Amino acid sequence: MTTPSHAARPRPGGSPALQAWVDEIADRARSRLGTGRVADYIPALADQDPERFGLAVCTNDGQLYTAGDAEMPFSIQSLSKVLLLSLALRTHGDALWQRVGLNPSGMPFNSLMQLETERGKPRNPFINAGAIVVADHLVGAFATPSKHLRDIARTLSGNAGILIDRQVLASEWQHRARNAAAAYLMKAFGNLDNEVDEVLEAYFACCALRMSCADLAIALNYLAADGRALTTGERFVPPAMAQRINALMFTSGMYDAAGDFAYRVGLPAKSGVGGGIVAIVPGRLSICAWSPALDASGNSVAAQYALERISEGLGRWSQEAGRLAPASVS
């Protein structure tokens, strides 16, 4: 993917009515602050302020609506798994599925149980073991996969300031026992080509990227737009691939609460333990909500609440967007 020569990052603006709606949802979501707990199993994440809340909605025609801490970078953690998967599928195509499954695990994201009984083939690319196999593919394909992913994040979001947080990376490395156990188990079953330490380092560095809600809503808009990146106008992944990534997000993107979230919100989404959730309205919008306090499944309480309200109001959104630009709304 080439770097855009023009400043293509969408800026907040567009419809005052839609902006007011996003502000209203952010206000209501703030009433949920104070519920849930910040992840502390990665010590560098433990001091995140649970009172933070950000929301960004990006339309396929390049309007950005933001509220609260939408421009504040946070640790994207498992949201990186969407970019990792997109990059691996771009590079290796469907061959990836010989080594990673396509089904929900119904287990915590770092569980080792199925990995033993299923002979080292992770259930899907959004649990840790699955993303480690995806990272293994990228270690084989790129000299420094995490820097490559960081550069892609910069290009897709139009923000050249995106960085890997070295403190979070070091903290994850220090507390890597469970991810290392998964990686060694897969290595023992012949499902990891490269050295465990090298693969884990790449995986942790991708999780340690810092991006804001605005960065993420813009960067992942390709999933709402048949694979076409908003900032470059180029196709980042083919349309069928975008559709399949959305399907996997729908079935496996929200830890072991994917079914609950699908029932309540009905959108493909991916959650991270940094408190971010990205959701996609195919053909129309990409959304990122963030607040660090998590529920028992590891999903941000306030971010889920905001996404539920957005999903409820999509009809209203369509009406207003249709009034603004009828041709751009499907």
Q: How far is the CB of 272 from ligand GLU (least distance, A)?
A: 4
Residues near ligand GLU (CB under 6 A), total = 10
DSSP lists the bridge partners of residue 54 as: 68, 290
Catalytic residue check, 301:
no
218 token code pair: 């813009």
The single residue of 38, 57, 65, 81 carrying the catalytic annotation is: 81
Residues 59-88 that bind ligand GLU (CB under 6 A): 77-78
Q: Are 180 and 187 in contact (CB under 8 A)?
A: no
128 lines the binding site for ligand GLU (CB under 6 A): yes
Measured CA to CA, the distance from residue 100 to residue 97 in angstroms comes to 5
Measured CA to CA, the distance from residue 314 to residue 292 in angstroms comes to 25
Catalytic residue check, 237:
no
270 token code pair: 């991916």
Please tell me whether 273 is known to bind a ligand.
yes
Tell me whether residue 153 or residue 329 sits nearer to ligand GLU (CB atom). 153
Q: Are 59 and 53 in contact (CB under 8 A)?
A: no
246 lines the binding site for ligand GLU (CB under 6 A): no
The C-alpha torsion from 319 through 320 and 326 to 330, rounded to 10°, is -50
Residues 6+ apart with CB under 8 A from 116: 185
Q: Are 1 and 229 in contact (CB under 8 A)?
A: yes
Q: Are 228 and 267 in contact (CB under 8 A)?
A: no
Measured CA to CA, the distance from residue 26 to residue 3 in angstroms comes to 33
155 lines the binding site for ligand GLU (CB under 6 A): no
Tell me whether residue 63 or residue 105 sits nearer to ligand GLU (CB atom). 105
273 lines the binding site for ligand GLU (CB under 6 A): yes
Please tell me whether 57 is known to bind a ligand.
no
Tell me whether residue 77 or residue 124 sits nearer to ligand GLU (CB atom). 77
Please tell me whether 203 is known to bind a ligand.
yes
Please tell me whether 263 is known to bind a ligand.
no
3-class DSSP state of 285: strand
Tell me the backbone φ, ψ of residue 46, rounded to 5 degrees: -65, -25
The single residue of 255, 270, 278, 329 carrying the catalytic annotation is: 255
Tell me whether residue 131 or residue 281 sits nearer to ligand GLU (CB atom). 131
Catalytic residue check, 75:
no
Measured CA to CA, the distance from residue 317 to residue 330 in angstroms comes to 12
* Tokens 């929200």 found at: 254
Tell me whether residue 10 or residue 298 sits nearer to ligand GLU (CB atom). 298
Please tell me whether 191 is known to bind a ligand.
no
272 lines the binding site for ligand GLU (CB under 6 A): yes
Please tell me whether 255 is known to bind a ligand.
yes
How is 53-65 classified by DSSP, letter by letter? -EEEEEETTS-EE
Measured CA to CA, the distance from residue 243 to residue 70 in angstroms comes to 26
Catalytic residue check, 199:
no
288 lines the binding site for ligand GLU (CB under 6 A): no
Q: Pairing between strand 293-294 and 269-271?
A: unpaired
Please tell me whether 128 is known to bind a ligand.
yes
109 lines the binding site for ligand GLU (CB under 6 A): yes
Among 207, 213, 225, 321, binds ligand GLU (CB under 6 A): 207
Catalytic residue check, 81:
yes
Tell me whether residue 39 or residue 214 sits nearer to ligand GLU (CB atom). 39
Catalytic residues: 78, 81, 203, 255, 273
Residues annotated within a binding site? 78, 128, 172, 179, 203, 255, 273
Contact residues for ligand GLU, defined by CB under 6 A = 77-78, 109-110, 128, 172, 179, 207, 272-273
Residues annotated within a binding site for substrate? 78, 128, 172, 179, 203, 255, 273
